[in-house]
Amino acid sequence: MTTPEVQQTLAKAAGFSGTSLHTGEKVSLKLQPAPVDHGIKFKRKDLQDEPTIDAKIDNLKTVERATTIGEGSVRVHTVEHILSALSAMGVDNAIVEMDANEPPIGDGSAQPYVDVIKRAGLTPQEAPRKFLDVREPVHVESKTGALLVLLPDENFRISCTQAGPNNRFTQFFSTEITPATFEREIAPARTFVYYEDVRALMDKNLIKGGSIENAVVVRGDAVLSKEPLRFEDEFVRHKILDIIGDLALVGRRIRGHVVAIKPGHAANAELARALAREQTRRSALEVPRAMPRGDGGLNTDEVMQILPHRYPFLMVDRIVDFEGENKITGVKLVSINEPFFQGHFPGHPVMPGVMLVEAMAQVASVLLFKLAKTSSRIGYFMSADGVKFRKPVFPGDTIFIHAELTKARGNRLAKAKCHCVVNDAVVSEGELMFTFLER
Ligand SMILES: [Zn+2]
């Protein structure tokens, strides 16, 4: 077993100043350390109350030429290069402070951001990293000819084909993304633009800070830039840089192989969205993170040693948590194969409320058994008070059944407050009373 990778933040603050691409004004950027599970957030120091914007795909606003995120009316533009550097260099948690609406563009590559991250240094934190493991191929396609496929892989790897107009400058590059490969092979690759495109933008005054200082300009077969190409295939490497930055908006480290053909921000963002959706779906199915292994919970077999109930009436799949002496959490995965769905109702399967009450009673019984430490007596369900059904439960739902012992009178009577939760919402609740009888 390898030790789990832990989250990292910056060892100290560090920053630099430069020019903003769109306004041409001076902007200062400062990276600050942040606590566990904070993720990457941008902070607008130039605005009142210094609002922050979470670098999350939900906050994506536009993908035209660069990636813009925002919350409310606050925006941050051109975030992909700094996000790429933070993600690839292994920074999980940080605040990116800026006194403008976009980071300094630098030389159009991720090099200045790598430099500032290295000046700040990294420090490990006391929480495991969050990964998104690709289990089956995911693919997105756009009308512009971009195609991205994400395949399962133990590591994060990108293979990319880039092609310019009339397939000029067709390049291919493939690499695993690690801090070392990123710094050496990807970070120095600069933004490139087609002369036809920038001329129109310059006419519209949309890129005041743009020049051959911070981008490679391609005009026909010619390459105009301040310094010669840094790699023969610099363009495809920059495409990979952008993919890393856009996928960082997923908020988890991806273990998978991205195969990209003529990618762009729009297609990258669409892939990030698909991954975020998949992650949401998985989280809904995951048992709580506090789920105790071994002694802590009970598997189906152990539950069946305690409860006399059997198919089709066993309403608990597992006990996932005991909290102290008087709290318990059980799980029931509701399948379309439940016999009651045949008649409740054909064409519109809804779990009967009484079955939810039964599920609460069974979970509470397991708790009573644990307290009594004997199976010679059996708890009988006597009454239910204040039972409410707040939301319907459908096939495919995972019910978390919580019970808390509120009263125990001698060895004869006990009361438990119970509620059932699906997707973080309470679907039913009630207070149940039990009595004990010899088997
Ligand atoms: Zn870029």
Place of tokens 């790429």: 84
Q: What is the CA(325)–ligand 1 centre distance, in A?
A: 56
- Answer whether 432's CB lies under 8 Å from 418's CB: yes
Q: What is the CA(262)–ligand 1 centre distance, in A?
A: 13
285 pLDDT tier (thresholds 50, 70, 90): low
Q: Which two tokens stand for residue 438?
A: 């010899």
Q: Is the pLDDT of residue 213 over 80?
A: no
Please state, in angstroms and rounded to a whole number, the distance separating the CA atoms of residues 333 and 160: 41
How many CB atoms are closer than 10 A to CB 27? 21
Mode of pairing for the β-strands spanning 156-162 and 171-176: antiparallel
The 8-class DSSP code of residue 298 comes to: B
192 by Cβ neighbours in 10 Å (0-12 / 13-18 / 19+) ranks as buried
Q: What is the CA(48)–ligand 1 centre distance, in A?
A: 29
| Over residues 32-52, mean pLDDT | 96
Per-residue pLDDT at 147:
96
Give the residue from 22, 39, 32 showing the smallest Cα distance to 276. 39
Per-residue pLDDT at 323:
82
Per-residue pLDDT at 38:
95
Q: Which two tokens stand for residue 50?
A: 């210094």
42 pLDDT tier (thresholds 50, 70, 90): very high
DSSP, collapsed to helix, strand or coil, labels residue 270 as helix
Q: What is the CA(197)–ligand 1 centre distance, in A?
A: 15
> 386-423, pLDDT tens digit by residue?
999 999 999 999 999 999 998 877 667 889 999 999 98
Average pLDDT, the chain: 89
Per-residue pLDDT at 287:
44
DSSP characters over 64-125: SSS-EEEETTEEE---HHHHHHHHHHT--BEEEEESSSS-B-TTSSSHHHHHHHHHH-EEEE
Identify the top-confidence range among 173-177, 208-212, 307-311, 361-365: 173-177
Q: What is the CA(398)–ligand 1 centre distance, in A?
A: 41
Which residues are 398's β-sheet partners?
A: 333
Catalytic residues: 265, 344
Q: Is the pLDDT of residue 120 over 60?
A: yes
Per-residue pLDDT at 201:
72
Please state, in angstroms and rounded to a whole number, the distance separating the CA atoms of residues 422 and 332: 10
What pTM did the predictor assign? Answer: 0.67
Give the residue from 399, 360, 402 showing the smallest Cα distance to 381. 360
Buried b (16+ CB within 10 A) or exposed e, 419-439: bbbbeeeebbbbbbbbbbeee
- Beta-sheet strands, E only, within 163-242: 171-176, 192-194, 216-219, 222-224
> 58-104, pLDDT tens digit by residue?
999 988 888 999 999 999 999 999 999 999 999 999 999 999 999 99
| Over residues 265-290, mean pLDDT | 78
The 8-class DSSP code of residue 215 comes to: S
Q: What is the CA(122)–ligand 1 centre distance, in A?
A: 24
DSSP, collapsed to helix, strand or coil, labels residue 201 as helix
Per-residue pLDDT at 295:
47
Per-residue pLDDT at 284:
63
Per-residue pLDDT at 197:
78
How many CB atoms are closer than 10 A to CB 35? 10
Q: Which two tokens stand for residue 397?
A: 């739902």
Q: Is the pLDDT of residue 36 over 70?
A: yes
- Answer whether 106's CB lies under 8 Å from 123's CB: no
Q: What is the CA(12)–ligand 1 centre distance, in A?
A: 27
Mode of pairing for the β-strands spanning 377-389 and 147-152: unpaired
Q: Is the pLDDT of residue 15 over 60?
A: yes
Q: What is the CA(310)–ligand 1 centre distance, in A?
A: 59
Please state, in angstroms and rounded to a whole number, the distance separating the CA atoms of residues 194 and 235: 12
Q: Which comes out higher in pLDDT, residue 294 or 411?
A: 411
Per-residue pLDDT at 437:
72
Q: Which comes out higher in pLDDT, residue 132 or 379?
A: 132
Q: What is the CA(192)–ligand 1 centre distance, in A?
A: 8
For 421, residues 6+ apart whose C-beta sits below 8 A from its C-beta are 399, 400, 401, 402, 427
Q: Which comes out higher in pLDDT, residue 81 or 347?
A: 81
375 pLDDT tier (thresholds 50, 70, 90): low
| Over residues 133-148, mean pLDDT | 90
Q: What is the CA(265)–ligand 1 centre distance, in A?
A: 9
Q: What is the CA(316)–ligand 1 centre distance, in A?
A: 51
- Answer whether 74's CB lies under 8 Å from 98's CB: no
Per-residue pLDDT at 123:
97
